[in-house]
Amino acid sequence: DTGVSQDPRHKITKRGQNVTFRCDPISEHNRLYWYRQTLGQGPEFLTYFQNEAQLEKSRLLSDRFSAERPKGSFSTLEIQRTEQGDSAMYLCASNPLPREKLFFGSGTQLSVL
Amino acid sequence: SQQGEEDPQALSIQEGENATMNCSYKTSINNLQWYRQNSGRGLVHLILIRSNEREKHSGRLRVTLDTSKKSSSLLITASRAADTASYFCATDANNNDMRFGAGTRLTVKP
């Protein structure tokens, strides 16, 4: 068990560019979650998957955001046409059952210039 | 939307003192969880308390839950400088995922 890993750790991009983040959950966990966190705030829910099915998306997730988990293992979160307001820490978490303890990755810190 | 609200927003204490943080939430829950986050890192799960439990202990941590008041508290006893972090409560009000509050930033001075 290597824990939840996220890549990259940091991403700096120019406004208008597309970015993609990857999350590898703990292998036996069939639930995977994406959260966004800005400085001084708690994590805000974005979306979650059970296996490869995306079961819920927050209203925070505009049409510029898309998430996939094609084989029910790793997940990607893509942001198209980035805006400065997208600057945040993007956190991935996983767990084997709903409402149980979440295991978080270290996050991807996105800076949009 | 965020479900829990922590109080206070920030807390500064001396090493050895106890730290108490509170969490209030709005709707019924199945469980409430507390997490810790060191600056710039991911969150680490501390403790989970179910709606039919009133108190739970883990090492120097003590969590209480009052479902009638929709509130929980986290007590850290005999605090250490290494306890300096942000602490978040999370609830499963949405039934499928955990929603977090804004957190309490704890500073423990050596």
Read off the pLDDT of residues B28-87 as tens digits, 9 standing for 90 and up.
888 999 999 998 889 999 999 999 999 999 999 999 999 999 999 999 999 999 999 999
Is B45's CB within 8 Å of A102's CB?
A: yes
Q: Is A74 helix (H, G, I), strand (E, B) or coil?
A: coil
Give CA torsion, residues A56, A61, A63, A65, to 10 deg. Answer: -100
Q: Determine, for residues B100 and A42 on separate chains, whether the beta-carbon distance falls below 8 Å.
A: yes
* Greatest extent of chain A over all pairs of C-alpha atoms, in Å: 38
HSE-CB of A66 using CA atoms within 13 angstroms: 8
pLDDT tens, A12-30?
999 999 999 999 999 999 9
Question: With pLDDT > 70 as the criterion, what percentage of chain A qualifies?
Answer: 99
Q: Is the pLDDT of residue B7 over 90?
A: no
Of B48, B97, B102, which is closest to A42 when you measure between CB atoms? Answer: B102
Question: Is pLDDT larger for residue B40 or for residue B19?
Answer: B19
Cα–Cα dist A91/B96, whole Å: 17
Of A108-112, B84-88, B90-94, the poorest mean pLDDT is in B90-94
List CB contacts (< 8 A) between B102 and chain A.
Answer: 40-42
Tell me, yes or no, if B44 comes closer than 8 A to chain A by beta carbon.
yes
Residue B46 in contact with partner chain A when CB distance is under 8 A: no
